[in-house]
Amino acid sequence: MTNDNPHIASAFDRDLEAVQALIMKMGGLVETALLDAAEALVTRDEEMAIRVRNGDNAVDALEEQVNAECARLIALRAPNATDLRTVLTVMKIASSLERCGDYAKNLGKRAMVLTQMAPIGATAGSVRRMAKAVQLLLKDALDAYIARDVALAADVRLRDREVDQMYNALFREFLTHMLEDPRNITACMHLHFIAKNIERVGDHATGIAEQVIYLVTGKHPEDARPKADVTSGPAE
């Protein structure tokens, strides 16, 4: 904070810390929802899947609170260019987390359906491993923001490629099961959407990491984001 008035500077810092606390709370809810949805899939726990689906309302409410607080902060504190960039970054992160919450909600809905179907090999466990990897990406991206850690943010960008490779492997596995037995098609399509939505959460985590790099350095990463997703499946 570089505002010449120390009282205004102190007030801005306090307000920003409060907003950042909301961001971390949002992140925690999304991370938990992601892991719980995957766990519900593995354990065939319909009640847990329902809780994940219903929990998205809390994430949405937090995003609205973040946006309202950021608008108030801009109006009352008149931040300089550097501080304004920080506030806008916070709003972009909140938007990304809200979208991740939507993906987790979709995972919960599909897990509910899959609890009523026969399991498809060991695919549920593979999905859970992918969800855990993405949860760690999201956690590290948010930690990088709080610590203004460019190296950690850069590491998140690189690790997203591993998530893409996990998704590609799952996609091939789903195709194999569908070709072996057409009765597997419906369940495998649900599993495919789940895997694709988890991969999209990884993309958002990478986007947050890139926002951190821009916030700290004033420059967007010059190299193209490394991607290894060779499919073109849609996500909801």
Domain borders along the chain are 6-217
CB proximity list for 62: less than 8 A, separation 6 or greater: 22, 25, 26, 29, 94
Would you state the pLDDT for residue 44?
95
* CATH of the structural domain 6-217, one choice from 1.20.58.220, 3.40.640.10, 2.60.120.10, 3.20.20.70: 1.20.58.220
CA 7, 9, 15, 18 torsion: positive or negative? negative
168 CB contacts (<8 Å, ≥6 apart)?
228, 229, 230, 231
Predicted confidence at residue 82, as pLDDT, reads: 86
Higher pLDDT, 223 or 72: 72
User: What's residue 7's pLDDT?
Assistant: 46
**Res 2: pLDDT:** 45
pLDDT at 1: 42
Residue 66 token pair:
């973040």
Q: With bands split at pLDDT 50, 70 and 90, how would you rate the model's confidence at 80? A: confident
Q: For 69, what's the count of Cα atoms within 13 Å in the CB-facing half-sphere?
A: 22
- Arithmetic mean of pLDDT over the chain: 91
Per-residue pLDDT at 105: 96
CA torsion 34-127-196-63 (nearest 10°) is 0
- pLDDT, one tens digit per residue, over 101-121 is 999 999 999 999 999 999 999
